[in-house]
């Protein structure tokens, strides 16, 4: 890190000026994210997870512990813990500021890495500075990064970037002779993995850089010393990779092979790799999701067209390597290495998304930076043109690129204003986007637009038949419209796809309740009570009440009274629930219990109708308890 500081200060003024300009540029283009609301796309998980809401020894222990069925990303979780502890009620604003700061630090780390990389290949220092600076300016404003900065749940992306660049920066310095930097490189690698598992791919880029430097003539005793370097890396990476794949497989994160087999799936992988080139370099309308038709049939010419594109690119990198164009080869390798985990070698939910393009997009930015830096350096001898004409062309092109990306970025930030603006925009651009249909359906359900929500869910299921969340939301919309049989059927379908989907279990039990099917209501709620700690969840009182009511309807009076008692203890702040409990107690002839519940309900009731009802019932029970007891018995 000492060398990094020296390199930033020498020469001091251009580099210090760049850091200031970079800070102003990044804050300027992301300023309009500060009032953005959390979206309903995983952000709720941050606010419903008490472990990250306060810095404490117990919470840190939980965050640093492995949990079955969950990715291990403690650095990301600790960063959220800092936000909740520091910002309090303004935590959303704090999260946005924190993400912008991390993004700035990522670009600075990228700049340090590029300077070190270019200089390691004996490129003149001034040319290194221009190339790295132009590349980082373009990288900083690229619109494909909006999701990584604006989406609260995407905090892991800039953290991954910071540690990736620092690990590779240290690795290059270690190859240059400062062997202690292997230790700092390994530390940054581990921190990257603890931020996001995609950092497991960093050693692939290390190997590409190492081979290129060896071919350049640096590091003569290559194979004798590299085992000492790569064996510890493998020891770090291999177990983490195995755990990640096993975890994803166990929780259903790995989907069926495209086309039905491993080999047909490779055709889809080839198409996805090529599609990210278009996303990074040619897209002007970015979105939260991009539905893509995958050509995984070997009989389709489109499948082989994508294979050909990848063969051409990889062949060009191999040719460049043997021609001594090492930087080009490294960044082609960079693109493929960091896309590999999301290329559907192991199929996952989303085919194409902006956040997966964060690190791969550097290859495009370095290419543009190279072209612009070459134009800046070139002089022409045409009499009627200034010798600095190409330098002006370089400045003009850079200005167009920066202004275009910046304008698109600011516009995309506004699209992320809230959940509704995000998903309505995505559907306007890509009507068949499954995540957009599903997440917008949730919003419409909360707004009472049940028919519109049902249509969205049906469209989502058509695109992805195994999308259990779409099926579960479809069932919810149908239940709200009174289509209980349809809701029961679809909740069953969702649970067949994901047996532990708690929303579907609760929804199915609720649908049975609405239908008056007390046998299934009792069976499902009793299963929840025995398998979960219902006392600690907000709707536990409702579950106990319904369990008790179902038990009473099924002639299990003693069990009903036990569950009612639990409901009373948990529902003391719910006047309607207390009123329902009191009515049930009255029907069972348990007058003292009924009076107690009515009095509690009356003491916290706010509506006049409820207050009047409760007072009337209290008067009746107080004056004629025997009569009522007999009538209800």
Quick check: helix, strand or coil at residue 404?
A: helix
State the alpha helices, DSSP H only, in 571-623.
575-587, 591-604, 608-623
Handedness of CA 55, 58, 64, 70 (dihedral sign): negative
Which region among 67-76, 147-156, 409-418 has the lowest average model confidence (pLDDT)?
A: 67-76
Cα 113 to Cα 193: distance, rounded to the nearest angstrom: 18
Classified by CATH at the fold level, domain 431-515 comes out as 1.25.40
Query: Which residues have a Cβ under 8 Å from the Cβ of 42 and sit 6 or more positions away?
Result: 153
Whole-angstrom CA distances from 231 to 234, 237, 433, 460, 626 are: 5, 10, 43, 46, 84
pLDDT at residue 146 tops 80: yes
Residue 394 has pLDDT above 70, yes or no: yes
* Structural domain boundaries in the chain: 2-409, 431-515
CB 490 within 8 A of CB 507: no
Q: Is the pLDDT of residue 152 over 80?
A: yes
| pTM for this model (two decimals) | 0.86
Of residues 427, 437, 443, 430, the one with CA closest to residue 458: 437
Nearest to 115 by CA among 208, 267, 224, 6: 6
Closest CA to 119 of 331, 359, 326: 326
Distance CA 18, CA 120 (A): 22
Query: Could you tell me the pLDDT band of residue 113, with boundaries at 50, 70 and 90?
Result: very high
Report the SS3 class of residue 551.
Answer: helix
pLDDT at 233: 83
> How large a percentage of the chain has pLDDT more than 70?
93
Of 409, 396, 419, nearest in space to 153 by CA? 419
Please state, rounded to an integer, the average pLDDT across all residues of the chain: 89
pLDDT at 20: 94
Range with the lowest mean pLDDT among 187-196, 320-329, 605-614? 605-614
> Which DSSP letter does residue 144 get?
G
Residue linked to tokens 């997009």: 361
Q: Which pLDDT score, from 0 to 100, does residue 5 have?
A: 47
Q: How confident is the model at residue 629 (pLDDT cuts 50, 70, 90)?
A: very low
Left if phi > 0, otherwise alpha if psi is -120 to 50, otherwise beta: which for 334?
A: alpha
Cβ atoms of 244 and 71 within 8 Å: the answer is yes
pLDDT confidence of 409, banded at 50, 70, 90? very high
Looking up tokens 């071919």 gives: 215
**The token pair that represents 85 in the structure block:** 């502890």
Q: Residue 384: what pLDDT? A: 64
Highest mean pLDDT among 111-115, 179-183, 237-241: 111-115
Ordered alpha helix ranges (H), 220-346: 222-250, 262-281, 301-322, 326-339
Dihedral angle computed from the Cα positions of residues 470, 475, 481 and 482, in that order, rounded to the nearest 10 degrees: 180
Tell me, what's the pLDDT at 100?
Answer: 98
Tokens of 293: 């038709």
Q: What number of other Cβ atoms are within 10 A of residue 422's Cβ?
A: 28
Q: Read off the pLDDT of residues 542-586 as tens digits, 9 standing for 90 and up.
A: 899 999 999 999 999 999 999 999 888 886 678 888 999 999 999
Would you say 576 and 607 are in contact if contact means Cβ atoms under 8 Å apart?
A: no
Asked if residues 272 and 347 have their Cβ atoms less than 8 Å apart, the reply is no
Q: What is the pLDDT of residues 512-533, one digit of tens each?
A: 999 999 999 999 989 888 877 7
pLDDT in tens, 271-320: 999 999 999 999 999 999 998 899 999 999 999 999 999 999 999 999 99
CA distances for 32 relative to 37, 92, 97, 411, 619, angstroms: 12, 13, 11, 9, 59
> Is residue 26 within 8 Å of residue 103, measured between CB atoms?
yes
Q: Other CB atoms closer than 10 Å to residue 190's CB: what's the count? A: 17
CA-closest candidate to residue 422, choices 408, 440, 434: 440
- The average pLDDT across 130-159 equals 97
The gap from C-alpha 604 to its chain's centroid, in whole angstroms, comes to 41
Question: Are 197 and 346 within 8 A, CB to CB?
Answer: no
The CA-based angle 376-381-382, given to 5 degrees, is: 110
Distance, CA of 447 to CA of 41 (rounded, Å): 17
- Within 8 A by CB and 6+ apart from 53, the residues are 59, 81, 84, 85
Maximum CA extent, the chain: 114
C-beta separation of 319 from 350 below 8 A: no
C-alpha 153: how far from chain center: 5
Judged against a pLDDT cut of 60, whether residue 36 lies above it is answered with yes
């Amino acid at each position: 890190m000492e060398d990094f500081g020296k390199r930033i200060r020498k020469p001091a003024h251009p580099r210090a000026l760049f850091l200031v300009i970079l800070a102003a540029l990044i804050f300027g283009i992301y300023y309009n994210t500060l009032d953005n609301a959390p979206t309903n796309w995983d952000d709720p998980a941050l606010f419903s997870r008490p472990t990250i809401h306060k810095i404490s020894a117990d919470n840190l222990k939980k965050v640093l512990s492995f949990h079955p069925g969950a990715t291990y990303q403690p650095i990301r979780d600790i960063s959220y813990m800092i936000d909740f502890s520091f910002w309090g009620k303004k935590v959303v604003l704090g999260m946005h500021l924190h993400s912008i700061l991390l993004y700035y630090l990522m670009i600075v780390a990228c700049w340090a890495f590029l300077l070190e990389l270019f200089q390691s290949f004996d490129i003149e220092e001034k040319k290194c500075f221009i190339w790295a600076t132009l590349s980082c300016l373009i990288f900083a404003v690229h619109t494909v990064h909006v999701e990584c900065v604006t989406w609260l749940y995407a905090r892991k992306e800039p953290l991954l970037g910071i540690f990736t660049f620092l690990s590779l920066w240290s690795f290059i310095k270690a190859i240059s002779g400062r062997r202690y930097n292997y230790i700092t490189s390994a530390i940054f690698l581990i921190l990257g993995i603890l931020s996001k598992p995609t950092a497991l791919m960093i050693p692939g880029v290390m190997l590409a850089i190492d081979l290129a430097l060896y071919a350049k003539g640096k590091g003569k005793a290559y194979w004798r010393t590299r085992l000492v370097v790569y064996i510890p890396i493998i020891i770090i990476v291999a177990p983490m990779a195995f755990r990640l794949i096993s975890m994803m497989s166990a929780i259903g994160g790995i989907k069926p092979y495209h086309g039905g087999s491993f080999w047909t799936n490779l055709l889809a992988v080839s198409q996805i790799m090529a599609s990210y080139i278009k996303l990074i370099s040619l897209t002007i309308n970015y979105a939260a999701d991009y539905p893509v038709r995958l050509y995984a049939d070997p009989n389709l010419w489109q499948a082989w067209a994508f294979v050909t594109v990848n063969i051409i690119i990889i062949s060009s990198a191999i040719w460049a390597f043997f021609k001594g164009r090492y930087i080009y080869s490294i960044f082609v390798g960079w693109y493929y290495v960091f896309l590999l985990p999301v290329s559907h070698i192991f199929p996952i939910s989303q085919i194409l998304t902006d956040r997966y393009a964060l690190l791969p997009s550097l290859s495009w930015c370095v290419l543009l930076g190279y072209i612009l830096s070459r134009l800046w350096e070139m002089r022409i001898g045409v009499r009627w043109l200034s010798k600095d004409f190409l330098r002006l062309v370089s400045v003009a092109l850079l200005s167009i690129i920066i202004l275009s990306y910046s304008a698109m970025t600011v516009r995309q930030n506004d699209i992320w204003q809230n959940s509704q603006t995000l998903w309505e925009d995505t559907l306007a651009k890509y009507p068949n986007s499954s995540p957009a249909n599903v997440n917008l359906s949730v919003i419409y359900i909360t707004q009472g637009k049940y028919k519109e929500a049902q249509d969205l869910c049906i469209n989502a299921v058509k695109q992805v038949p195994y999308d259990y969340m779409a099926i579960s939301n479809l069932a919810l919309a149908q239940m709200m419209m009174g289509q209980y049989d349809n809701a029961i059927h679809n909740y069953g379908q969702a649970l067949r796809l994901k047996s532990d989907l708690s929303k579907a279990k609760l929804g199915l039990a609720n649908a049975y309740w609405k239908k008056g099917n007390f046998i299934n209501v009792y069976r499902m709620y009793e299963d929840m009570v025995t398998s979960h700690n219902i006392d600690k969840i907000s709707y536990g009182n409702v579950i106990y009440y319904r369990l008790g009511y179902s038990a009473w309807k099924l002639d299990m009076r003693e069990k009903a009274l036990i569950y009612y008692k639990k409901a009373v203890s948990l529902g003391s702040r719910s006047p309607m629930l207390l009123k329902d409990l009191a009515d049930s107690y009255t029907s069972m002839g348990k007058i003292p219990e009924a009076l107690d519940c009515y009095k509690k309900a009356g003491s916290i009731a706010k509506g006049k109708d409820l207050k009047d009802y409760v007072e009337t019932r209290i008067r009746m029970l107080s004056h004629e308890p025997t009569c009522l007891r007999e009538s209800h018995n």
